[in-house]
Amino acid sequence: MPDLIFHHYHNSPFSEKIRTIFGYKKLPWKSVLIPAIMPKPNLTALTGGYRKTPVLQIGADIYCDTALIANVLERIAPTPGLYPPEIAGMARTLAQWADSTLFWTVIPYIFSQPAAIQSILGGATPEQMKAFAADRAGFRGNAPRMSAGEATGSLLEYLRRLDGMLADGKQYLLGAQPCIADFSVYHCLWFVQKAKEVASIIDRAPHVQAWLGRMAAIGHHSHDAMPGEQALEIARSSSPAAIDAPFVDTFGIALGEQVTIAPTDYGLDPVEGELVMAAENELAVRRTDPQAGTVVVHFPRIGFQLKKI
């Protein structure tokens, strides 16, 4: 099997979601560390502009967004499964809630408290803190932001709900085994735990606290460091995998057209290329880059906009 090359940084919650899925599925992976703020030249050479973290690379195929990355890992290693058929719809929908609503409650909860920012950005100089704040202001754009009071009150309510789901000896959110929803809720609350000064809010939810321990125990499985330049060289010397998925046209755009694909929530940088895949739940473009060669960049359907150039 070709290497699973994972572009991420340690302090990234969405990366922790996928690192823990590597752990659950016992998949070995290569770790390429990327900067937490722009510019990220080695990453954007591969993606064509998408800058969010993390990204999965398999040869010359580049997978953006953790909803898609989790699907890809499930295809490669179907057991243990992230989407048990009897709860798959519920699991995906709960995961989507966690990756959007819960995540964007946790972020303002943490970042509205200066002491917590210190522990998240540990050791950053005032200049680095300023650069981080400027980067994230642009990244968020006009997306609405919660006040500290709203974020705290909402997080308390979400913790009560999650605690109720884990009461009466329930080991995981939707059953006896973890599913995709557990990994999505986990990465958000892992970030709260990392912000030590404000992490005691989780003490109010003792079942959640115990479940966080079970999720952390899954670990990240084995991984070796890989320099970003080597990942680019692998892309350059590989060919994208053959595409074999029925075409589903919801945009009125044919395969072979020049298009852009961009997130619709935040970090809206578009990726330009030839549309080579529009499947039920996946879009992909082929593009040629001076550094990465010819690559196919893949996105999930949900949260992405396709436009003809």
Ligand X SMILES: N[C@@H](CCC(=O)N[C@@H](CS)C(=O)NCC(=O)O)C(=O)O
Q: How far apart are CA 101 and CA 107, in angstroms?
A: 10
Nearest distance, CB of residue 67 and ligand X, angstroms: 6
Nearest distance, CB of residue 85 and ligand X, angstroms: 23
User: Among all chains, which residue has been given the structure tokens 């937490």?
Assistant: 36
Amino acid at 20: T
Q: How far apart are CA 75 and CA 65, in angstroms?
A: 16
Nearest distance, CB of residue 160 and ligand X, angstroms: 25
**65 lines the binding site for ligand X (CB under 6 A):** yes
- 47 vs 53, beta carbon nearer ligand X: 53
User: Among all chains, which residue has been given the structure tokens 């990244």?
Assistant: 139
Six-digit token string for 154: 């909402």
Size of the site for ligand X (CB under 6 A): 13
Nearest distance, CB of residue 11 and ligand X, angstroms: 8
Q: Which helix (H) or strand (E) holds 186?
A: helix 180-194
Residue 187: what are its φ and ψ, rounded to 5°? Answer: -65, -30
Nearest distance, CB of residue 256 and ligand X, angstroms: 28
Residue from 42, 53, 105, 112 in contact with ligand X (CB under 6 A)? 53
Q: Which stretch binds ligand X (CB under 6 A): 50-58, 222-230, 236-244, 247-255?
A: 50-58
On whether the CB atoms of residues 72 and 24 are closer than 8 A, the answer is no
Q: In the chain, what is the straight-line distance between the N-terminal and C-terminal CA atoms, in Å?
A: 36
- 166 vs 186, beta carbon nearer ligand X: 186
**182 lines the binding site for ligand X (CB under 6 A):** no
Q: How far apart are CA 53 and CA 120, in angstroms?
A: 16
Taking residues 265 to 284 in sequence order and writing x for each that binds ligand X by CB under 6 A, - otherwise, the string is --x-----------------
Q: Which stretch binds ligand X (CB under 6 A): 51-59, 209-217, 254-262, 288-296?
A: 51-59
Which 66-125 positions form the footprint of ligand X (CB under 6 A)?
66-67, 99
Nearest distance, CB of residue 183 and ligand X, angstroms: 11
Taking residues 192 to 221 in sequence order and writing x for each that binds ligand X by CB under 6 A, - otherwise, the string is ------------------------------
On whether the CB atoms of residues 140 and 103 are closer than 8 A, the answer is no
Residue 6: what are its φ and ψ, rounded to 5°? Answer: -110, 120
Nearest distance, CB of residue 90 and ligand X, angstroms: 19
Q: How far apart are CA 53 and CA 139, in angstroms?
A: 12
- 51 vs 92, beta carbon nearer ligand X: 51
On whether the CB atoms of residues 163 and 208 are closer than 8 A, the answer is yes
Counting every residue written for the chain, the total comes to 309
Which residues of the chain form contacts with ligand X (CB under 6 A)? 12-14, 36, 51-53, 65-67, 99, 139, 267
